[in-house]
């Protein structure tokens, strides 16, 4: 089947033809990394990470960052490119991802967007426009100060009051996204969840296939719990301790990522070790649930449920290859 996948070269993609784009996503711990690499090797592709934490250097264990060995020669973009205190948001992601796509196309290869940040994927897929500096800085600063003095839950409750749908999607710890949603409502009077729904109706400039890898909920949650245990065994606490020693404060967006905030609280003496680990497991399970909810609202998605393929990775890969051959190759 692999031989029947036509490779893309620079001469074959005319200006009036949409360029191909493959998206492989799904909830955390579902097995995206291995499948994306096998897929890239099969279709002459390269991988762009749609992950808000793997972009940072030194954030390896807690982000389940793909290793050089796991990459198996497949080039990855947006991995290990920023320092922990550098800004990374939807604007930066889209700019960097589009630059990576152009580089991949110039080689005659196919970009594969792999990762679990649905908002980033949506912005790239439908070419949603963002300005580098959005929002009322005075209002933003007020919310940041309020969060510092009263806690992030207070800000999250403010969002819940005006946009309960977004509040359900965005964790209270993701203060930057909570504030951005409040800013959008403050500026426009419209919930950002309504805006996102409208954006989903846009036509994509790409000839794309959007795959969501999923599995039985109980099995997924068991995988999440096991992965957290493995991360701790592999040195997650030491990794977070080192980041603290390097001077990176817990107020940084990078340090608010799941896996880092909980363990940082343990390192700082807020939690005991058991509580920190159990909190991390619970937050990761809740994150997986929110990811699935997001992807269910996306249009033109192909769901790949492990159980429907007898939990056979080869069957899943072969299905994708055949589907690509029929639809975009």
Q: What is the DSSP string of 26-70?
A: -STTSSHHHHHHHHHHHHTEEEEE--TTTTBTT--TTTTPPPHHH
Question: Which tokens is 77 given?
Answer: 């973009």
Q: Please give, one letter per residue, the 3-state secondary structure of 175-210.
A: HHHHHHHHHHHHHHCCCHHHHHHHHCCCCCCCEEEE
Q: State the Cα–Cα distance between residues 275 and 285, nearest whole angstrom.
A: 15
Q: What is the pLDDT along the chain (329 residues), one digit of tens a residue?
A: 333 344 444 444 443 489 999 999 999 999 999 999 999 999 999 999 999 999 999 999 999 999 999 999 999 999 999 999 999 988 899 999 999 999 999 999 999 999 999 989 999 998 887 655 555 678 988 999 999 899 999 999 999 999 999 999 898 988 988 998 999 899 889 998 888 778 767 789 999 999 999 999 999 999 999 999 999 999 999 999 999 999 999 989 899 999 999 999 999 999 999 999 999 999 999 999 999 999 998 889 999 999 999 999 999 999 999 999 999 87
Token pair 């649905």 is found at 118
Q: State the Cα–Cα distance between residues 184 and 201, nearest whole angstrom.
A: 19
Domain 2-128+204-327 top-level CATH class: alpha beta
Residue ranges per structural domain of the chain: 2-128+204-327, 137-197
How many other CB atoms are there within 10 angstroms of residue 154's CB atom? 13
Q: Are 211 and 21 in contact (CB under 8 A)?
A: no
Q: Are 246 and 239 in contact (CB under 8 A)?
A: no
Using a cut of 0.85, tell me whether the model's pTM lies above it.
no
- Backbone dihedral angles phi then psi of residue 224, each to the nearest 5 degrees: -60, -50
For the chain, the maximum distance between any two Cα atoms, rounded to a whole number of angstroms, is 60
Fold of 137-197: Histone, subunit A (1.10.20)
pLDDT at position 295: 94
Instruction: Please say whether the dihedral angle defined by the alpha carbons of residues 52, 55, 59 and 65, taken in this order, is positive or negative.
Output: positive
Sequence-distant (≥ 6) Cβ neighbours of residue 244 within 8 angstroms: 264, 267, 268
Question: Which tokens is 27 given?
Answer: 């909830």
| HSE-CB of 47 using CA atoms within 13 angstroms | 27
Q: State the Cα–Cα distance between residues 270 and 263, nearest whole angstrom.
A: 10
pLDDT at position 135: 55
3-state secondary structure of 5: coil
Beta-sheet strand order (sheet of 207-214): 76-77, 45-49, 110-114, 20-25, 207-214, 301-305
Instruction: Please say whether the dihedral angle defined by the alpha carbons of residues 32, 33, 39 and 43, taken in this order, is positive or negative.
Output: positive
């Amino acid at each position: 089947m692999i031989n029947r996948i036509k490779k893309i070269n620079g001469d074959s993609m005319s200006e009036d033809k949409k360029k191909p784009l493959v998206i492989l996503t799904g909830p955390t711990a579902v097995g995206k990394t291995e499948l994306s690499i096998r897929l890239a090797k099969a279709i002459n592709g390269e991988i762009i990470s749609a992950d808000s934490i793997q972009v940072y250097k030194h954030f390896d264990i807690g982000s389940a960052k793909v290793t050089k060995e796991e990459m198996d020669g497949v080039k990855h973009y947006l991995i290990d490119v920023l320092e922990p205190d550098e800004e990374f948001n939807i604007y930066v992601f889209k700019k960097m991802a589009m630059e990576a796509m152009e580089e991949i196309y110039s080689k005659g290869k196919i970009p594969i967007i792999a990762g679990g940040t649905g908002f980033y994927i949506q912005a790239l897929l439908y070419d949603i426009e963002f300005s580098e500096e959005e929002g009322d800085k005075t209002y933003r600063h007020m919310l940041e100060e309020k969060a510092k003095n009263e806690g992030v839950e207070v800000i999250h409750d403010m969002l819940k009051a005006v946009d309960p749908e977004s509040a359900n999607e965005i964790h209270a710890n993701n203060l930057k996204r909570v504030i951005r949603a409040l800013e959008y409502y403050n500026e426009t009077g419209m919930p950002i969840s309504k805006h996102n729904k409208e954006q989903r109706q846009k036509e994509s400039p790409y000839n794309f296939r959007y795959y969501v890898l999923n599995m039985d909920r109980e099995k997924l949650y068991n995988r999440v719990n096991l992965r957290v245990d493995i991360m701790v065994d592999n040195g997650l606490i030491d990794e977070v301790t080192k980041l603290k020693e390097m001077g990176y404060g817990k107020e940084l967006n990078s340090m608010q990522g799941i896996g880092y905030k909980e363990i940082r609280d343990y390192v700082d003496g807020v939690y005991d070790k058991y509580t920190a680990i159990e909190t991390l497991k619970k937050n990761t399970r809740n994150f997986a649930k929110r990811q699935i909810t997001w992807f269910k609202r996306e249009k033109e998605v192909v769901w790949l449920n492990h159980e429907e393929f007898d939990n056979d990775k080869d069957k899943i890969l072969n299905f994708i290859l055949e589907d690509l051959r029929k639809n975009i190759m």
